[in-house]
Chain A
Amino acid sequence: MSAAAGSFARALDVVTRVRGVRGAMLVARGDGLVVAEQLMEGIKGGAVAALAASLAGRLHRTMVTAGLGPSQFWHLQCDQGALLVVPAGETLLVVAITDPEVNVGLVRLELLRASEVAT
């Protein structure tokens, strides 16, 4: 395993060990491709990564335009779960897919840690 692959795996480990996290991915911000993933069976990682990158782009442009600075964390709340995302450097996103009852604050902290490990 290369050094980069090792650090990516460690970054995802940090997130997926939180109770209620169904999976985590590292996604390329530019093209929405999956760089690394640890997902439960049945999750369509590629499609979710593409949409997450697109949403991240829209939010980034919105926030910068509104004078709020780049997005540091975002959270899509759904009826039966959530998608939580943190940028990792200029080129990556760390994405977590969670159950509805997850401790969002804790996942956020671990995503921020993972973003440091991955970059």
Chain B
Amino acid sequence: MSDDVKALSTELAREPQSLVFLRLGEVLRQRRQFEAAARIALHGLERHPHLADAHDLYARILADRHDYERAFDEWDMTLRIAPQHTGALKGLAFLYFKIGDLTQAEAHLETASQVAPDDPSIAQAFAMIRGEAGAAPPAEPEPSEAYEGMPSGDAPAEPTRLALQLPDERIFAGLEGAQEGLLLLDAAGLVLGGALKTPEGTDVTETVAAYLAGVSQEAARTARLLGMGGWRGLSAEGQGGHVYVAQPTAESMLLMVRDRSVPLGRLGMLAQRAAQVARAWLERQR
């Protein structure tokens, strides 16, 4: 055990409630001792569940272990606690970049640059993203340090490589009627594609479509009354799962349903991607 790890471990043992676990976890992560780093981070999170830096540390470790789905959740949680956390903003930018969603990656970096305008790693990451168009197919990315500056050579992964993203084919399968928890409706609540079943397997497509008719108009009226512009999405949390309603076009609605293992923030991202696919599908039907 090296001296600094030993010293930090001793300090943590002496004061288990202290924040020294952040330094110890980071040192272990940088040495690629990911198992030990994760143990330290999780112990820290047990004691400090609302500490944004602890979630950020754990997300970095998960990203280094290529567990991008959980890394996304941890960075998402970090931003819920501290919306201007630059580490989480850069981390999410990295994950979006990896799945090829350069618009979202750039948006997160833009926010990070407003918070930390002098951070050179953000400018470096911007430069790489903006030079990414037309890039060659990527090699397997190396996440370590990438979310701190996204150095060149870490190009977006193929879309199907990550669990973070639903492959377009699957979403289309849902829209065509597979049991994906995706439902595409017109403004009057008539089903355009997809299907919805209860966990017990009962088809509730038509009933749910009828209940959702009018949601779009009411959401738009509410937004207008409040002077908030247009509405972008409506999410709801239930005891057995979450739903997200998006608006692919002015005349349509998309409902995505997932169990509670999918956090609301991520569900929103998935639903907006599904809405993009639905929009393209609707345009092809014209």
B235 touches A75 (CB 8 A): yes
How many chain A residues touch the partner (CB < 8 A)? Answer: 39
Question: Is the contact region of chain B dominated by helix, strand, or loop, or is it mixed?
Answer: mixed
Return the contact of A48 from the options B196, B199, B225, B238 (Cβ within 8 A): B225
Q: Does residue B222 face the partner (Cβ distance < 8 Å to A)?
A: yes
Question: Is the contact region of chain A dominated by helix, strand, or loop, or is it mixed?
Answer: mixed
**A63-B238, A69-B238 as given contacts; A79 in contact with B232, CB under 8 Å:** yes
Query: A residues within 8 A CB of B207?
Result: 65
Return the contact of B222 from the options A62, A68, A76 (Cβ within 8 A): A76
- Where the two chains meet, the residues of B that have a C-beta atom closer than 8 Å to any C-beta of A are 77, 80-81, 83, 196, 198-200, 202, 204, 207-208, 211-212, 214-215, 218-219, 221-223, 225-243, 255, 257, 264, 268
- Where the two chains meet, the residues of A that have a C-beta atom closer than 8 Å to any C-beta of B are 42-44, 47-48, 51-52, 54-55, 58-59, 61-63, 65-83, 97, 101, 103-106
B83 touches A77 (CB 8 A): no
What 4 pairs between A and B have smallest CB-CB spacing?
A: A105-B80, A79-B229, A69-B239, A67-B198
Query: B residues within 8 A CB of A103?
Result: 80-81, 83
**A76-B219, A77-B234 as given contacts; A44 in contact with B225, CB under 8 Å:** yes
A77 touches B215 (CB 8 A): no
**Bound complex: CA A59 to CA B212 (Å):** 7
Closest-CB distance, A20 to chain B (whole angstroms): 9
